[in-house]
Structure 1
């Protein structure tokens, strides 16, 4: 055990851990959840520590030996090597101060070890005086939130592109299959199964584009603004150089916010991003709802499509198979929508120069992105690619319905078609059969009017 102390007291820390006093206290006081700070956020903070150490070394404010050790330690944290050294709950007081302190302590103690010094030798490398030099939690944390979100957003945008392609493939595959269109769950007019999947693909295309474009909002960072955006305790040379080094290290384009105060105190950019995640979740849920309806049955429901059979659906009903992947997507969507509300409330709860609830914003936003990224992968590979059309059932339901009444209204008149539709339902025969029975049209004329192209294309 090693003893660490500050003005608030002292605490014994196990020798084999790299975090210190501030982390140990936070792990105790904020022990409300098993959910930990997302690794992506930790690694983004470590990247900032790396470029800050490089900058401070270059401008002469940090001993090169110490600076190089901090850079190496930060790179190790970025690699995920020390992920087990971040024990603090994702939900925490202090606007992210504990998370920043946790990273500072791990990097400081690992840097000490690199130089052959014992952990806790803070007179040589101090978490605040050296690792956190010319920084504040407030500019570091808000910048790291943007970096982590940008990386996940890029991956998510590509997943939606893959989903769009998978749906478009089904659009082509099912282009020839005529089926019953429905409005308000009632028989409407004919449509092709391909057209339905094409509409899904178009909705996902909008999500893909929106998620891609919203990344621009995240590219403005306030690193160098320190506590409230005024840059107190940070030399001007450091502010410009640290942002330049961050741009060079980070794979996506970044720019220094023209108003550093705004970038630290306002969280509306994350509300905007979350809102688009919610919109994407809504589209995914709508598609999943449709798939569950279209696959319902297999005997007592609609049954126009078949979903991949992945697992037994019941421990009491043999042979039952459930639409488990669409159900998964529905629940992921619910969680993303709930996270959006949490982000909204946390963002509006900010006061004056800082939002104390940024840990909740960061946790919920990154969680939503990761959930969607994984869920879309699963949706593509275990559901969409395996969807099959029940072509015979599609045709059967069209023939049994009264949708042809709408198609033939321009030729037979609304009142006549209404009477025929009711008689068709009452007698249990097809509308087509009834038209031929009454001699209202020849079979040749009827076949021509009921061609798939005529039924499902404008003009």
Structure 2
């Protein structure tokens, strides 16, 4: 590593002393120290633009509120807003370099934002980066704030933003499943319980059920995101509002709602809101619920396409890549497998979030960075995996209609449809005999004269086996 000459750095000072910072960097000394201390995930906060933009929105809202209370001059408020607007428009995201996992309850992330905004504002004012006597990261950009209210407020807003593309991806998958439900509406197959033959159904009903169960979670995501709209901005360090003007919280919340376009609300009890992780836990639970459902659907797709000769072979997944380095012609269900693994990661994230939420003490939870990292990364993974499942798998699924129909004809499970007409004991005996002899249910029922051929044809019509029907009493 080459030596960094003093002409390429500027010297900044903090509580711990002096530290060289790259001259062109918009971040400052506290960000530099955090970069040196925390290299855990290799994922900087810039990996999630929703978080960067939300931080800038919080800082812009704070500047507006501080201007209105007379705490911040018009000139400083103007340049802080301009710097924040640059960031919201996509600029300077590469200057947010702190690892998402960090000690200090998010202080390093908050200071990274304060320093970048301050140095961009100084640049707008015509000053050199680091000339904080003209505009200071703490005194001006962080005025009336603490990490403990600014960071979680930005995090909540970021999660709300990140939930929107997730819901869009999920909606697209649901539409693809509904399309397959219509396409497969006339494909008769055996339903199964505990992997054993049950009663007939259509492949369309099966895919329709997948769409219904996933559609429920769009509403759940929206509800959980709504809980995150309640924030503790204005509570400063522990919720008491120390160092903030009495009018600041309401003004800041109104400004944040205007800037973000989201109906942000001030928590009723800021002390409680500063330490409580309940909304994060619930949101994580919704993601886990969705992940479990997606994994179950993926398991079904792998089973239904298994074989092809020695498995269920009821559907064909689109072939995406050769499946083996040794077995010619083998094609694996790689897309559902990848969805499964994504789901497992999100389920694991939920446990980490649970432990982090439980680990808070007294007036603050210092483990919030882990919670935020897992929620944001989990949503991104789920969203990308859902798009993958929709476009590279579900959209291209085809049905093996004739094979599905043959499994119904040859199944012992159709005896259930005859149960109300021949009685449970007769049905049990016929089923057992069919299983042991390999003969068909219809053949055995006719042989014993339990029903006529015409009656069987009527009772085993697909339309009569696939829904409720009126049963006339026997005898």
Q: Same fold (TM over 0.5)?
A: yes
Question: Whole-Å Cα distance in 2 between the matches of residues 259 and 407 of structure 1?
Answer: 60
Q: Comparing 218-227 with 437-446, which one deviates more in the overlay? A: 437-446
Among 72, 75, 79, the residue aligned to 1:62:
72
> 3-state SS of the aligned residue for 1:47?
helix
**1:245-298 deviation per Cα after TM superposition (whole angstroms, max 9, x unaligned):** 111111221111111111111111100111011111111111111111001011
Report deviation, 1:412: 2.5
TM-fit CA distance, 1:406: 1.6
Task: Output one character per residue of 1:363-403: Cα deviation in whole Å (capped at 9) or x when no partner.
Answer: 11111111122222222212222221111111111122201
Question: Partners of 1:54 and 1:374 in 2: how far apart?
Answer: 37
Separation in 2, partners of 1:139, 1:415: 69
TM-superposed CA distance for 1:437, in Å, is 4.5
Per the normalisation by structure 2, the TM-score is 0.93
* Cα separation, 1, equivalents of 2:429 and 2:258: 74
Q: 1:73 aligns with which of 69, 83, 103?
A: 83
Residue 18 of structure 2 aligns to a residue whose secondary structure is: strand
Question: Following TM superposition, by how much is the alpha carbon of 1:430 offset from its aligned partner in structure 2, in angstroms?
Answer: 2.3
SS of the equivalent of 2:121 reads helix
Distance 1:230 1:296 in 2: 60
* CA distance in structure 2 between the partners assigned to 1:324 and 1:79 by the alignment: 38
Q: Does 1:320 align with 2:330?
A: yes
- Structure 1: runs of 5+ lacking an equivalent: none
Alpha-carbon separation, structure 2, partners of 1:124 and 1:368: 41
Q: Distance in 1 between matches of 2:250 and 2:448?
A: 85
Whether the 8 Å CA contact 2:249–2:266 is kept in 1: the answer is no
- Name the CA distance, whole Å, in 1 between partners of 2:269 and 2:293: 35
Q: C-alpha distance in 1, partners of 2:93/2:347? A: 29
From 128, 138, 152, the equivalent of 1:142 is: 152
2:13 is aligned to: 5
**205, 212, 215: which one pairs with 2:222?**
212
- TM-score normalized with structure 1 length: 0.96
Aligned with 2:199: secondary structure? strand
**Distance in 1 between residues matched to 2:202 and 2:15, nearest whole Å:** 73
Of 292-301 and 70-79, more deviation after overlay is shown by: 70-79
Output one character per residue of 1:323-369: Cα deviation in whole Å (capped at 9) or x when no partner: 11111111111011111111111011111111000000111111111
Match for 1:333 among 337, 343, 354?
A: 343
- 8 Å CA contact 2:324, 2:331 repeated in 1: yes
Alignment of 1:262-273 (within 5 A): 262-273=272-283
2:413 alignment partner, one of 393, 403, 414: 403
Whether 1:361 aligns to 2:371 is: yes
Partner of 1:69, secondary structure, is: helix
* Equivalence for 2:300: 290
The correspondence of residues 168-317 of structure 1 with structure 2, limited to 5 A, is 168-317=178-327
Contact 1:274–1:340 (8 Å) recurs in 2: yes
Paired residue secondary structure (1:344): helix
Q: Which moved more, 1:27-36 or 1:300-309?
A: 27-36
2:114 matches 1:104: yes
Please, which of 19, 34, 37 is the counterpart of residue 42 of structure 2?
34
Residues 1:239 and 1:439: Cα distance change in structure 2 (over 3 Å): closer
After TM superposition, list the pairs within 5 Å mapping 1:372-383 onto structure 2: 372-383=382-393
Native 8 Å contact 2:314 2:404 kept in 1: yes
Q: State the superposition RMSD in angstroms.
A: 1.5
Deviations 1:165-218 (A, max 9, x none): 222222222222211111111111111111111221221121111112222211
Name the SS for the 1:188 alignment partner: strand
Partners of 1:307 and 1:289 lie apart in 2 by 13
TM-superposed deviation, 1:92: 0.4
Cα deviations by residue, 1:31-62 (Å, 9 ceiling, x for unpaired): 12212223321221111111212222333322
Superposition pairs of residues 13-28 of structure 1, within 5 angstroms: 13-28=21-36
Q: Secondary structure of 1:236's partner? A: coil
Contact preservation (8 Å) 1:134, 1:233: yes
1:388 has 2:398 as partner: yes
1:134/1:226 contact within 8 Å kept: yes
Gaps of 5+ in 2: 1-8, 470-475
Shift of 1:222: 1.2
